[in-house]
Amino acid sequence: MQLPEIFQGNSPTRLLQGAIAGAIVTIAVGFYAGGWTLGSNVQKQVQAAEQASVVRVLAPICADKFKRSADAVANLQALNKEDSWKRDDMIVKAGWATFPGSEPDRQVAEACAQLLSKAK
- Domain of residue 68 covers 40-119
Distance in angstroms (rounded) separating the CA atoms of residues 61 and 30: 43
Query: Could you read off the pLDDT tens digit of each residue along the chain, which spans 120 residues?
Result: 777 666 666 777 777 888 899 999 999 998 888 888 888 888 999 999 999 999 999 999 999 999 998 888 888 888 888 888 888 898 999 888 888 888 888 899 999 999 988 865
25 within some domain: no
**CA 67-51-72 angle, 5° bins:** 10
Q: pTM of the prediction?
A: 0.65
Smallest Cα–Cα separation from 113: which of 100, 99, 98, 97? 97
89 within some domain: yes
Q: How far is CA 31 from the centre of its chain?
A: 20
Helix runs in 9-71, H state only: 12-32, 39-67
How many structural domains compose the chain?
Answer: 1
Give the model's pLDDT for residue 27.
92
Residue 67 burial class via C-beta count within 10 angstroms: exposed 0-12, middle 13-18, buried 19 and up:
middle
DSSP symbol at 68: T
Which contacts qualify for 29-37: CB closer than 8 Å, 24 or more apart?
A: none
57 within some domain: yes
26-to-16, 17, 35 alpha-carbon distances in Å: 15, 14, 12
End-to-end CA distance of the chain: 84
Give the model's pLDDT for residue 6.
61
12 within some domain: no
30 within some domain: no
